[in-house]
Amino acid sequence: MNAKRAFKYRFYPTGAQAAELSRTFGCVRKVYNLALAARTEAWALRQERINYNATSAMLTAWKKTEELAYLNDVSSVPLQQALRHLQTAFTHFFAKRTKYPRFKSRKKSRKSAEYTTSAFRFRDGELTLAKMAEPLDIVWSRTLPEGAQPSTVTVSQDAAERWFVSLLVEDPAVQPLPFTETAVGVDAGSVHLLTLSTGEKITNPRHERKDRGRLSKAQRELSRKAEGDGANRAKARRKVARIHARIADRRRDTLHKLTTRLVRENQTIVIEDLTVRNLLKNGKLARAISDAAWSDFRSMLEYKAQWYGREVIAVDRWFPSSKLCSNCGRLQDTMPPHVRTWTCDCGTTHDRDENAAKNLLAAGLAVSACGAGVRPQRSTPGGQSATKQEALWRKP
């Protein structure tokens, strides 16, 4: 069976279609919040766990009330899908993978609705959603796999008020690539986006910095608009959102091209298990780290590696990749962030990032050989104990 892949396109709805989708977004949000409130109340008052079937029965009852009768005006499928998404959120919460589900906000939450096969028609390259008479005007920026039939369609609108439709289809092109013995270590940075163990350095495009002037000006204009100044404030907010969208689109495009190249060229890719959330607490580096989008890079790399039969190894975040000599294995006591090149006692001069990438590759291959979950270890010249060695590792 072929892997499933989502193909995302922009589309331009008619006035009637935009109104219908906006109503659907609002109803999806309402049903999700009602179900979340019901599940929370049931547990708080009676220690009772309500599942998807119970909330589905509640939805039927809600539609019969005068207050929520408007839920009948939109397709029932996106509403049922909202309940399924809530069930998934609770499943992840009980498995301790995520926090407790939160209520959806009208202003801040993502506007989206998911349709399954019973709620749309895809024929001759035209997509028509339930409750709509005309097909969507989609810009087919890339072709779907031949003969593809979507199993799920998700419609969304971003903060810049752009409309998107995502079609989930089986893609026969997603197959394991031919085996190669090539492996690479990847060190993420802010000066250079990535440094490879081969010595190649990939420049950080700094997409946010390029538009920082325009963004600052737009944000100042927005701040001058009073909360009650509806039309003008909305216009200023859209301007800010469009600049953010432009930055995000270029960043995503860069990362997609980069991760696809790494996966195609290498059988094994070794990265560092960085805690980006904690790194963002550093006020001096937060903007550069956000612009580099390390989390997005890792996410793309991992799912593409899974698609194409490659391996991604994440080395323990405390592994001293920068302080360890990749030639002799000697561990330096300290390595301040401003030091970009250094010379080991063995006489080898290192580029900090290239040396780190080489050490990550060696540690990752050791993990692969010893088994998953093995923490990379290197003995130090002084023969320190594991506890003392880890303390040294945690120094800058």
Q: Which residues are catalytic?
A: 187, 272, 353
Q: Which of 330, 6, 262 is nearest to 150 (CA)?
A: 6
Give the C-alpha separation, 213 to 189, whole Å. Answer: 24
For 247, the enclosing helix (H) or strand (E) is helix 230-265
Neighbours of 121 (CB within 10 A): 12
DSSP state at residue 119: G
Tokens read off for 100: 């407790």
Cβ(321)–Cβ(359) under 8 Å? yes
* Phi/psi of residue 204, nearest 5 degrees: -80, 115
Give the C-alpha separation, 122 to 113, whole Å. Answer: 17
Give the C-alpha separation, 285 to 264, whole Å. Answer: 31
Q: Which residues contact 367 (CB under 8 A, 6 or more apart)?
A: 313, 315, 374, 375, 376
Handedness of CA 230, 235, 236, 242 (dihedral sign): positive
The DSSP code sequence of 37-74 is HHHHHHHHHH-----HHHHHHHHHHHHTSSTTGGGGGS
Give the C-alpha separation, 155 to 120, whole Å. Answer: 11
Measured between its terminal Cα atoms, the distance across the chain in Å is 48
